[in-house]
Amino acid sequence: DIQMTQSPSSLSASVGDRVTITCRASQGISTYLAWFQQKPGKAPKSLIYAASSLQSGVPSKFSGSGSGTDFTLTISSLQPEDFATYYCQQYNSYPYTFGQGTKLEIK
């Protein structure tokens, strides 16, 4: 199975900040990488697919990059609604696997 390692596991930031979350795959996955946002009690919401493609309706403050084994999610100009948990996921091969999550908290 492909292991997905996210860092950091938690992150404190202020409204207006720009933050970056990284995700590393244990083997190359091309650009078959997705990013999700999850708020308490809700289903994960897809933000980015194919490593850098923005899902319809997702604001452009979210951006993704990378290919192969190293990927990043960047969120610019943080707003209160952005404080949530973020997950990466590889869908290059089954079993699909997820990172352990990054909890973004308000400083």
For binding to another protein (CB under 8 A), which residues are involved?
32, 34, 42-46, 49, 55, 87, 89, 91, 94-98, 100-101
Q: Name the residue nearer to another protein (CB basis): 1 or 107.
A: 1
Is the CB of 16 or the CB of 95 nearer to another protein?
A: 95
Alpha helices in the chain (DSSP H): none
Bond prior to 8 in cis (omega within 30° of 0): yes
Give dist(CA 73, CA 47) in Å, integer: 10
By C-beta, is 49 or 62 nearer to another protein? 49
Closest separation in Å from C-beta 102 to another protein: 11
